Chains A and B, each alone.
Chain A
Amino acid sequence: AQSVSQHNHHVILSEAASLELGCNYSYGGTVNLFWYVQYPGQHLQLLLKYFSGDPLVKGIKGFEAEFIKSKFSFNLRKPSVQWSDTAEYFCAVVLSGGYNKLIFGAGTRLAVHP
């Protein structure tokens, strides 16, 4: 069965530190990739997505992610985090050509201290 692994369950950073959250998936076929964010008390929002083309994708709020097909990875990055980035981040995969059934990772809870 397809699965998504997020390596870090909890990350604590100081403001202005750089962020990289790991995401790997297990599926040999073509996939579409997403990062969602859930701010405290809010619903999930889309940060960025990759379908095809340039493997470096830019999303909202200064986030970016790089798709490395050979490593089955889609890591999320931000050069300088802010306190307002405190949230839970979910990587998700959907199989291209299929229905829009997202497969989520377990999530990474990020806390940014001022």
Chain B
Amino acid sequence: NAGVTQTPKFQVLKTGQSMTLQCAQDMNHEYMSWYRQDPGMGLRLIHYSVGAGITDQGEVPNGYNVSRSTTEDFPLRLLSAAPSQTSVYFCASSLSRTAYNEQFFGPGTRLTVL
């Protein structure tokens, strides 16, 4: 198993550009989520999905879109990048949507918006 994979590892954008951060898992996990990590703030939940076709907002959803057309993939879209979105982005997955499951994290994408 590759676990949770993310691409790209690094990305530099200019303000206003759009891009998609890819996330995939090969563990047949039901639940997937996106977090952003900022210095001194820990990780904050952006969006999550409890299954294919079902997504919802987390703590900091503004400026981001998600979709989940398959169990395996959960891409995060930045429609118009802003410097405030400079961060490290982590995708995570767990077997079930319930609160009793370990979440497995991907290696992260470091995004800089100029």
B31: chain A residues within 8 A (beta carbon): 99-100
What residue of chain B has the Cβ atom nearest to residue A41's Cβ? B107
Within 8 A of A (CB), among B45-91: 45, 48, 50, 58, 90
Asked whether any CB of chain B lies closer than 8 Å to the CB of A104, the reply is yes
A107: chain B residues within 8 A (beta carbon): 40, 42
Within 8 A of B (CB), among A22-37: 32, 36
Size of chain A's interface in residues, with CB distance under 8 A? 28
Size of chain B's interface in residues, with CB distance under 8 A? 28
Asked whether any CB of chain A lies closer than 8 Å to the CB of B19, the reply is no
A111 to B105 CA separation, bound complex (whole angstroms): 23
A43 contacts B90, CB within 8 Å?
Answer: yes
Name B's A-contacting residues (CB within 8 A). Answer: 4, 31, 33, 35, 40-45, 48, 50, 58, 90, 92, 94, 96-103, 105-108
Name A's B-contacting residues (CB within 8 A). Answer: 4, 6, 9, 32, 36, 42-46, 49, 51, 90, 92, 94-107
